[in-house]
Amino acid sequence: MRVRNSAPFALSLALLVSCGHGSNDAPPPSSPTPPAGGTFARATVATGLANPTAMVLAPDGRILVCEQGGSLRVVKGGQLLASPVLTVAVDASGERGLIGVTVDPAFGTNGFVYVYYTSPTPAPHNRISRFTVAGDAAVAGSEVVLLDLDNLSAATNHNGGALHFGPDGKLYAGVGENALGGNAQNLSNILGKLLRLNPDGSVPTDNPLLAQTSGKNRLIWALGLRNPFTFAFQPRTGRLFINDVGQDTWEEVDEGRAGANYGWPATEGATTNPAYASPLYAYPHSGGSVTGCGIVGAAFYDPATAAFPAAFLHKYLFMDLCGGWIRTLDPATGAVGDWLTGFSTPVDLRVAADGSVLVLSRGGGGTLQRVTYTAP
């Protein structure tokens, strides 16, 4: 099972340190190495980010970065601007705080930015809000609260936080079970779930569990998750991969399906129980060819301009918080490839339009790095 307390998020390992899921017979790793003479290089884009948690790439090239303490920072033209885009009042204890951000598909015209944060009042709870940004700052008074999630228990871990728009134009949100495993199977709350909202926060009329739920619980799109800290849509196909942080044994990559039940807390890792969706891929905390402690940022390598070798195209890039590595997963075959190591407590990853890869890490004083490739 997977319900263990995480170490404090604000220090080096935080956030997710609960461990993972997986299958003992997962394919052994192989390396998508570059052609002879080709090299990958890492360059620091920004430093001095205070306990960063998540980021999003705006279509105009700006990078918006969440700091756990409540500030949304902007990296523009390779520089971290001194003033935040916006600041929200948060409870930043444990894994709480400002922990998710995305931009509207029509950001270029409406300036909408969506954030997921832990509001301290009237009782601590996570919230999804929309702000309007003009230039490099949010318009004063523009916050629109789309959803106030269920009140949190005394446990400060397993909050989830990821936000993404799907190819259907709906807003998806990953929500942790607040360290109470039973929440993940309980349709009377929205903890331990993947949610699907209309951009205005209302319930889509085709959500899969409308008949079994009421009120805001009708936003539930999938259940049985422990701590879906990150997830990603593949631009080319619309496939959804959910990264669910496990307890003591496995870290999971789950294929997103409407109405799916991923089995937590009854199961972790591969399962033959037909009531639950078994992971597409899982890796253990020890004893396997791939090991780690907490699956974090991930993205599909499907940029507008591919700049990496062909072996990377359409692969799923995923990171581990404690292992400090990035590996590749082939969605077609399930084969896993070694790639880069040596990141210091990474938390988020994005593929830029120019084909480079951006990595956000809490280590090194809060750093944003860019990985590029030089052909032979």
Per-residue model confidence as pLDDT tens digits over 106-156: 999 999 999 999 999 999 999 999 999 999 999 999 999 999 999 999 999
How many other C-beta atoms can be found within 10 angstroms of the C-beta atom of residue 291?
18
Looking at per-residue pLDDT, the higher value among 6 and 235 belongs to 235
Kindly state whether residue 14 falls inside one of the protein's structural domains.
no
CB 321 within 8 A of CB 345: yes
Question: pLDDT by residue (tens digit) across 95-112?
Answer: 999 999 999 999 999 999
User: Is the pLDDT confidence value at 237 over 60?
Assistant: yes
Percent of the chain clearing pLDDT 70 (strictly above)? 90
Nearest to 282 by CA among 53, 19, 32: 19
Kindly state whether residue 13 falls inside one of the protein's structural domains.
no
User: Is the pLDDT confidence value at 30 over 80?
Assistant: no
* Burial annotation 302-316 (CB, 10 A radius, 16+ → b, else e): bbeebbbeebbebbb
Kindly state whether residue 80 falls inside one of the protein's structural domains.
yes
User: How far is 192 from 160, CA to CA, in rounded Å?
Assistant: 8
Kindly state whether residue 6 falls inside one of the protein's structural domains.
no
User: How far is 35 from 195, CA to CA, in rounded Å?
Assistant: 42
Q: What is the mean pLDDT of residues 274-294?
A: 95
Kindly state whether residue 22 falls inside one of the protein's structural domains.
no
3-state secondary structure at position 220: strand
3-state secondary structure at position 129: strand
Query: 72: Cβ–Cβ under 8 A, 6 or more apart, which residues?
Result: 64, 65, 66, 84, 85, 86, 87, 88, 98, 101, 113, 115
91-100, 230-239, 249-258, 284-293: least confidently modelled range: 284-293
Kindly state whether residue 222 falls inside one of the protein's structural domains.
yes
Question: pLDDT by residue (tens digit) across 181-224?
Answer: 999 999 999 999 999 999 999 999 999 999 999 999 999 999 99
User: How far is 151 from 147, CA to CA, in rounded Å?
Assistant: 12
CB 178 within 8 A of CB 158: yes
Kindly state whether residue 31 falls inside one of the protein's structural domains.
no
User: How far is 351 from 239, CA to CA, in rounded Å?
Assistant: 16
Kindly state whether residue 21 falls inside one of the protein's structural domains.
no
Query: 49: Cβ–Cβ under 8 A, 6 or more apart, which residues?
Result: 65, 67, 73, 80, 360, 365, 366, 367, 368
CATH number, domain with residue 78: 2.120.10.30
pTM of the model: 0.93
User: How far is 117 from 101, CA to CA, in rounded Å?
Assistant: 9
Range of the domain at 91: 39-374
Supply the pLDDT for residue 35.
67
What value does the mean pLDDT of the chain take? Answer: 92
User: Is the pLDDT confidence value at 29 over 80?
Assistant: no
Query: What is the DSSP secondary-structure string of 307-362?
Result: -S-GGGTTPEEEEETTT--EEEE-TTT--EEEEE---SSEEEEEE-TTS-EEEEES
How many other C-beta atoms can be found within 10 angstroms of the C-beta atom of residue 246?
32
Tally of structural domains, the chain: 1
* Phi-psi region at 99: left, alpha or beta (left = phi > 0; alpha = psi -120 to 50): alpha
